[in-house]
């Protein structure tokens, strides 16, 4: 499944994540996945949320810089070698993954990963084969 | 050659200009002495009497006025005429929160607009041109000044004011604007937007009149190339009238000061001593015939030099170089002179917003400079690697401009403090 991921620019300081999650909580927005990539000074918070439009509006209202990008939500069998079997297909199709992270909870015995690639449609086709 | 609005004065002999300046100055001094008690007291306190001033050569005996005087005398203390004779105020952003307000009579507005008209004509403007004014309208002098000048020249004037880039581009293309008046950074932004939207073929611009902020020759070349225009400078300050105190000609070798209205001196900013022609120092202006706001020897804090070499455009007005920056803004870091405007130029060139803060400190006896820059939507990406690359390229561009290494920190939007006008750009933590 292709989903829109929200990336938020965050400074490395105490309370920053608390503030963002507070803003989303106030609007009754659920977090489905979360990942942070960080440097010394700042980080990029990546989110998959239940209601993208309200989340974007609420964060923009609070002056956050946001980027919205399509990402693939890929089902991974929750067994040893599960991720390997998925990555084999992706590698065989010569698709590079910029970054990936796992999603909260599990679905019918499967784990799920979020993957960022240049061509989400292609990846979707490859993993569903 | 040949593009003059008021040829007789613009190309007058140096002797004639000096004669006019002398005559107007003596009248102006008398006017300020008689009608501005604040100024008279200032002169008397400096030990100078009315009779000491016999010609414009005596101007060096008079005390300077500065922004502090304008703040002390706010709002009416430097007014030279009854309020009933005034028709306009304009105002500058103050760094301390207290604004500076300048007053204009009808004649003051008229001479100011003449000055702007001279700038537009020097840029090739005629009554067949469509002049798009995207300086801010309102208290800021940029919009009203160029607007008035454009009317005088007879251009079709597009009173756009600043911002709303989509609308700017729509009018620019639909109405075939030929002259663009705005800040150089906005011109660069418009150029970028034109490229993005693929509108380059629909742009009929031939000239741009850019001012109100420091900009480099590199930026001029870049804007000229991208917009396919010739870019002209304009300089001014609200206290003296507004844009048009001086303006660039086709030669692009400095800006001609409208010397029939404004008398320029270059002084040593530390001692106040007048420096000879060609020396670099602080620019000081005297308004020679303004009625409502007759400022004499106003310190601009702009650092530049003057040249009285004959210009091949035919004008005889003295030229001033682009100011390098304001004297009170200059930092000395590791023995190198650094102007915040240089850092700003780099930030703009690299696509960052002009919201930044410079922090200077001394760690283990060595000066350090840190530049905080706000992240913007345009520069942000979900890819940390891309952000890192941009940061690195900013660091090397700053190194190239300043000659010293500056640490760069990307910070969240709106975390750098805003004020009513100009933000506090520099924090110097050094204890020396």
Q: Do A67 and B411 touch (CB under 8 A)?
A: no
pLDDT the model gives residue A107:
63
Helix H, strand E, coil C: the string for B16-43 is HHHHHHHHHHHHHHHHHHHHCHHHHHHH
pLDDT the model gives residue B421:
38
Same domain, B43 and B77: yes
Min mean pLDDT across A74-83, B390-399, B408-417 is at B408-417
Of B236, B238, B237, B231, residue with least CA distance to B210: B231
Q: Count how many domains chain B has.
A: 2
- The residues, ordered by sequence, that sit 6+ positions from B10 with a Cβ below 8 Å of its Cβ are B4, B118, B256, B314, B315, B316, B317
Strand order in the sheet with B356-363: B407-411, B366-374, B356-363, B426-428
Residue A61 near chain B (CB below 8 Å): no
Same domain, B252 and B397: no
Distance of CA B365 to the CA centre of its chain: 36
pLDDT the model gives residue B256:
98
Q: Spell out which residues of chain B touch residue A64, defining contact as CB-CB under 8 Å.
A: 412-413
Question: Is the pLDDT reported for residue B175 higher than 80?
Answer: yes
**Which of the pair, B188 or B280, is modelled with greater confidence?**
B280
Average pLDDT over residues B93-116: 83
What confidence category does residue B419 fall into, taking pLDDT thresholds of 50, 70 and 90?
very low
Average pLDDT over residues A21-30: 94
Q: Spell out which residues of chain B touch residue A41, defining contact as CB-CB under 8 Å.
A: 409-411
Same domain, B319 and B350: no
Same domain, B308 and B396: no
Residue A62 near chain B (CB below 8 Å): no
Q: Where in chain A is the domain with CATH 3.30.2130.10?
A: 2-69, 70-128
A2-69 CATH? 3.30.2130.10
Same domain, B303 and B424: no
**DSSP 8-state code for residue B305:** E
Same domain, B287 and B405: no
Largest pairwise CA distance in chain B: 72
Q: Do A46 and B410 touch (CB under 8 A)?
A: no
Q: Spell out which residues of chain A touch residue B388, defining contact as CB-CB under 8 Å.
A: 39
What confidence category does residue B222 fall into, taking pLDDT thresholds of 50, 70 and 90?
confident
**How far apart are the CA of B353 and the nearest CA of chain A, in angstroms?**
13
Question: Is the pLDDT reported for residue B326 higher than 70?
Answer: no
- Answer whether B205's CB lies under 8 Å from B227's CB: yes
Question: Is the pLDDT reported for residue B420 higher than 60?
Answer: no
What confidence category does residue B96 fall into, taking pLDDT thresholds of 50, 70 and 90?
very low
**How far apart are the CA of A30 and the nearest CA of chain B, in angstroms?**
20
**Which of the pair, B428 or B10, is modelled with greater confidence?**
B10
What confidence category does residue A55 fall into, taking pLDDT thresholds of 50, 70 and 90?
very high
Q: What is the pLDDT of residues B346-388, one digit of tens each?
A: 888 888 877 788 998 888 777 889 999 988 888 898 988 889 9
Nearest to B382 among A38, A63, A116 (CB): A116
Same domain, B115 and B144: yes
pLDDT the model gives residue B304:
92
What confidence category does residue B308 fall into, taking pLDDT thresholds of 50, 70 and 90?
very high
pLDDT the model gives residue B94:
45
Distances in whole angstroms, Cα of residue B94 to Cα of each of B101, B139, B238, B424: 10, 12, 12, 11
pLDDT the model gives residue B259:
98
Average pLDDT over residues B235-259: 95
Same domain, B12 and B146: yes
Q: Do A67 and B387 touch (CB under 8 A)?
A: no
Question: Is the pLDDT reported for residue B423 higher than 80?
Answer: no
Same domain, B357 and B309: no
Test the A interface: residue of B382, B386, B388, B390 with most A CBs within 10 Å: B382
**How far apart are the CA of A63 and the nearest CA of chain B, in angstroms?**
6
**How far apart are the CA of B409 and the nearest CA of chain A, in angstroms?**
7
pLDDT the model gives residue B422:
41
**Which of the pair, A24 or B424, is modelled with greater confidence?**
A24
pLDDT the model gives residue A77:
87
Provide the CATH number for the domain around residue B31. Answer: 3.40.50.12780
**How far apart are the CA of B415 and the nearest CA of chain A, in angstroms?**
9
Q: Do A39 and B384 touch (CB under 8 A)?
A: yes
Q: Do A65 and B388 touch (CB under 8 A)?
A: no
Quick one: closest CA in A to B375, which residue?
A: A65
CATH topology of domain A70-128: VC0802-like (3.30.2130)
What is the overall mean pLDDT for chain A? 90
Which residues of B lie inside 8 Å of A (Cβ-Cβ)?
Answer: 375-377, 380-384, 387-388, 409-415
Is the peptide bond between B44 and the residue preceding it cis, with omega within 30 degrees of 0? no
Question: Is the pLDDT reported for residue B328 higher than 70?
Answer: no
Q: Considering chain B, what percentage of its residues have pLDDT values greater than 70?
A: 94
What confidence category does residue B93 fall into, taking pLDDT thresholds of 50, 70 and 90?
low
Q: Spell out which residues of chain A touch residue B413, defining contact as CB-CB under 8 Å.
A: 9, 63-65
Q: Which residue range forms the structural domain that includes residue B423?
A: 331-428
Same domain, B89 and B15: yes
DSSP B334-400: TTEEE-HHHHHHHHHHTT--S-EEEEEEEETTEEEEEEEEE--TTT--S-HHHHHHHHHHHHHHHHH
Same domain, B313 and B344: no
Q: What is the pLDDT of residues B44-67, one digit of tens each?
A: 999 999 999 999 999 999 999 998
**DSSP 8-state code for residue A50:** S
Question: Is the pLDDT reported for residue B340 higher than 90?
Answer: no
**How far apart are the CA of A44 and the nearest CA of chain B, in angstroms?**
7
Provide the CATH number for the domain around residue B371. Answer: 3.30.300.30
pLDDT the model gives residue B188:
80
Q: Spell out which residues of chain B touch residue A43, defining contact as CB-CB under 8 Å.
A: 384
Min mean pLDDT across B88-97, B99-108, B338-347 is at B88-97
Strand order in the sheet with A31-38: A31-38, A42-49, A2-11, A66-77, A110-116, A99-102
Same domain, B309 and B370: no
């Amino acid at each position: 499944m292709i989903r829109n991921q929200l990336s938020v620019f965050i400074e490395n300081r105490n309370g920053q994540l608390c503030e963002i999650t507070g803003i989303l909580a106030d609007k009754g927005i659920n977090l489905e996945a979360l990942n942070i990539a960080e440097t010394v000074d700042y980080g990029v918070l990546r989110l998959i949320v239940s209601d993208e439009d309200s989340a974007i509006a609420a964060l923009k209202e609070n002056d956050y810089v946001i980027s919205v990008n399509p990402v693939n939500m890929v089902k991974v069998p929750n067994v040893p070698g599960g991720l390997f079997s998925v990555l084999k297909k992706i590698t065989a199709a010569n698709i590079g993954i910029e970054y990936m992270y796992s999603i909260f909870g599990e679905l019918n015995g499967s784990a799920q990963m979020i993957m960022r690639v240049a061509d989400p449609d292609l990846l979707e086709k490859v993993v569903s084969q | 050659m040949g593009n003059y609005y008021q040829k007789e004065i613009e190309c007058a002999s140096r002797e004639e200009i000096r004669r006019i300046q002398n005559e107007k100055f003596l009248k102006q001094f008398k006017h300020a002495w008689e009608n501005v008690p604040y100024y008279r007291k200032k002169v008397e306190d400096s030990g100078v009497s009315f009779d000491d001033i016999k010609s414009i050569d005596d101007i060096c005996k008079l005390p300077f006025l500065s922004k502090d005087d304008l703040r002390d005398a706010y709002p009416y203390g430097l007014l030279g005429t009854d309020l009933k004779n005034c028709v306009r105020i304009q105002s500058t952003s103050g760094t301390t929160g207290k604004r500076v307000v300048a007053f204009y009579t009808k004649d003051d507005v008229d001479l100011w607009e003449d000055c702007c008209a001279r700038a537009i004509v020097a840029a090739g403007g005629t009554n067949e041109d469509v002049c798009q004014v995207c300086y801010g309208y309102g208290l800021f002098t940029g919009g009203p000044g160029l607007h008035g000048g454009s009317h005088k020249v007879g251009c079709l004037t597009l009173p756009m004011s600043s911002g709303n880039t989509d609308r700017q581009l729509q009018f620019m293309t639909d109405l075939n604007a030929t002259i663009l008046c705005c800040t150089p950074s906005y011109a660069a932004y418009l150029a970028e937007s034109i490229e993005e939207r693929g509108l380059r073929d629909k742009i009929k611009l031939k000239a741009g009149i850019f001012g109100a902020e420091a900009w480099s020759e590199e930026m001029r070349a870049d804007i000229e190339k991208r917009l396919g225009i010739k870019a002209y400078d304009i300089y001014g300050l609200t206290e003296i009238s507004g844009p048009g105190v001086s303006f660039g000609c086709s030669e692009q070798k400095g800006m001609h000061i409208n010397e029939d209205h404004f008398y320029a001196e270059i002084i040593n900013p530390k001692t106040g001593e007048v420096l000879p022609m060609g020396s670099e120092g602080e620019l000081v202006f005297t308004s020679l015939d303004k009625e409502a706001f007759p400022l004499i020897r106003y310190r601009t804090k702009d650092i530049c030099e003057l040249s009285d070499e004959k210009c091949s455009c035919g004008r005889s007005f003295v030229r001033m170089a682009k100011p390098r920056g304001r004297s009170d803004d200059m930092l000395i870091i590791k023995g190198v002179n650094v102007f915040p405007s240089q850092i700003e130029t780099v930030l703009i060139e690299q696509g960052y917003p002009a919201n930044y803060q410079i922090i200077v400190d001394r760690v283990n006896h060595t000066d350090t400079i840190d530049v905080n820059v706000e992240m913007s939507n345009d520069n942000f990406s979900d890819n940390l690697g891309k952000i890192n690359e941009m940061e690195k390229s900013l660091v090397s561009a700053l190194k190239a401009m300043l000659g010293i290494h500056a640490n760069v920190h990307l910070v969240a939007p709106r975390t750098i403090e805003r004020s009513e006008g100009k933000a506090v750009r520099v924090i110097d933590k050094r204890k020396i």
